[in-house]
A and B are shown apart, each in its own frame.
Chain A
Amino acid sequence: MNVEFSDITFENRRRTAQELTEIATEIRRDIMKMLVLAKSGHSGGPLGASDIFAALYMGGVMRHHKDNPHWSGRDRFVLSAGHMCPVQYAAMANAGFFPKQELSTLRQYNTRLQGHPGRDMGLPGIETSSGSLGQGISIAVGMAMSDKLLDKTDHRVFSLTGDGELQEGSVWEAAMSAAHFGLDNFCWIIDNNDCQIDGRIREVMNVYPIDKKCEAFGFETIVIDGHNFEEIMGAFDKFIENNQKGTGKPTAIIAKTYMGRGVSFMEDNFKWHGNPPNEQQAEQALEELV
């Protein structure tokens, strides 16, 4: 299969829902191309979270400099659900952090695009290694503490966990501490696609109700349709507003998403959690993703 990546990138600014939809489609197309080349990796979660990543990286939500990824004034993003890295790689490439052609190296020997993010490989914009679930959110809390309590800056920290990941007890240790330290500069995004490798969340180990848990742990909790850009941007706006007001409460955005969004045969099917498309499936997916 002949796979080519476009070299168009998108600047990071406030955008309309229509623009973000187009960017998210490009991210999804890149994910399918990366995975068919890699012949392994996770399809479902990355496709489901593409809209959130479009908004974060190219919708003006996070402050970052693609040409200076270590810019001291940046907001930080920590992918706690490390297996979802194809969507982060694709979003960062589309935002101009590195050449899009490099997406073709996903999971290959010596690549900067490791199967789960490895900070040691030096991919611009990767703040931390992750892949052992439940750790990224604590790292993000540590970063938010550094920003708010020690350096006293206005930087914000975003972290995305899956919903199956909420079964890791240390996630709730992190949540407890984010509220305890009054980290209104911390935004926890929960990708609630209701799927994990073995099946539906409530069948593998029920973590619901998620919203009531977040509220009880002291979070400003916002439940959104994770594929609706008005709701996505509204939630991020609310987080930023709360941070600017200094409410002293961290924000949890529970984004209801569908695993495999945009590809008919993958959508809402947990069997696509950890598998790549074959060539024929990738071709069909790319026909649908326009």
Chain B
Amino acid sequence: MEEYTLLGSKPTRHGFGEALVVLGERNENIVVLGGDITGSVMTSLFKDKFPDRFFSIGIAEQNATTIAAGLALSGKVPFFASYGAFCALRNADQIRISCCYNEANVKIGGGHAGISVGPDGATHQVLEEVAYLRTLPHMTMLVPCDYLEAKKATIAMGEMVGPAYIRFGRSPVPLYTTETTPFEIGKALVLREGNDVALIACGALVWEAMLAAQELAKKGIQARVINNPSIKPFDVETTVTAARDCGAIVTAEEHQVHGGLGGAVAEVTAKNSPVPIEFVGVKDSFGGSGDPDELMIKFGLTWKEIYASALKAMERRDKGSVGFRRVKDVEQYIG
């Protein structure tokens, strides 16, 4: 198993922007639509390299999304990127009808996601789009954990057929995956083995889960850390296996605790292997201005909450009914 160590720090949006150039070189049908903030969401890299395949649509996300559907229905592979607040929710109906119902090959990149945007404040800190997008038929929804995974995920979505969305952030986040770390749409990846509690995270919270696991290890608790970048399609097997092996789960995401990764994990475990789950995320509130780091602390999105939630989930498991025990414990109990 690959050992994951901190290699540096880089924003996921760089991975998105660089991947578009790679895709543009591989496939002449790749086109990119700009929504005025092309520098911020890094589509400017593609614009500079392939000006004939870049179209500025201006500040009109509904139109851009639907134009993208028209381009896709004509055989192109259009990417549209803006801030997630505006290209996942303002255009929600366009994504639903023109992209998903049509099964149009539209790719959307939602930048500045989560509260780590920082000073821009609540209007720009999208915390709800994962919940919406993962309910849409035909949609693929990805939340990469670091720069390199963002690059791989963007390339993968550009090479699959069908509507897809990728969520990325503005601020630098820890970089720890490598060129050899596998990425596949529909697959989660175990970053650290352990059978005492499972920490399932996406995006910037994956590294926080790794830090929490290190602290838990000091208490003799071996946490399994799972990076789950593919919210939809969802890797049922990895989550259910973790539920059966560990009997307690913590989910962690830079998103509302309702309906996102935590919701997906809860649905899957409730059906296949119910275990106590603690949810780390934003608790039904809007964001606000501040430094990214201080906001992550204020909104409870650090390793400390994951650590505390792990202890709580394990306690609930151990004090709970037999049905909440680990498979191995139940076997012992039966005898």
Contacts and interface: CB of A to CB of B under 8 A. Distances in A.
Nearest to B98: A135
B93 A138 contact: no
Given A120-B103, A150-B31, A142 B71 contact: yes
Contacts of B70: 78, 128, 138-146
B195 interface: no
A174 interface: yes
A281 interface: no
Contacts of A174: 63, 66-67
A147 interface: yes
Interface residue range, chain B? 20 to 34
Contact of B63 (A130, A150, A177): A177
Given A147-B74, A181-B55, A138 B103 contact: no
Contact of B97 (A132, A143, A177): A132
Given A119-B103, A135-B98, A127 B57 contact: no
Given A135-B94, A177-B57, 17 more contacts: A118-B101, A119-B101, A120-B102, A120-B103, A128-B98, A129-B102, A130-B97, A132-B96, A135-B69, A138-B65, A138-B70, A142-B67, A142-B78, A146-B76, A173-B62, A176-B60, A181-B55
Contacts, number: 102
Contacts of A129: 97-98, 101-102
Size range of the interface on A?
Answer: 20 to 34
B268 interface: no
Contact of A132 (B75, B78, B93): B93
A142 B65 CA distance: 10
A177 B101 contact: no
A131 interface: yes
20 contacts: A119-B101, A119-B103, A120-B102, A127-B73, A128-B73, A132-B96, A135-B69, A135-B94, A138-B98, A139-B98, A141-B63, A142-B70, A142-B71, A142-B72, A146-B76, A147-B74, A150-B53, A169-B62, A174-B63, A176-B60
A170 interface: yes
Interface string A136-173: 00111111111101110000000000000000011001
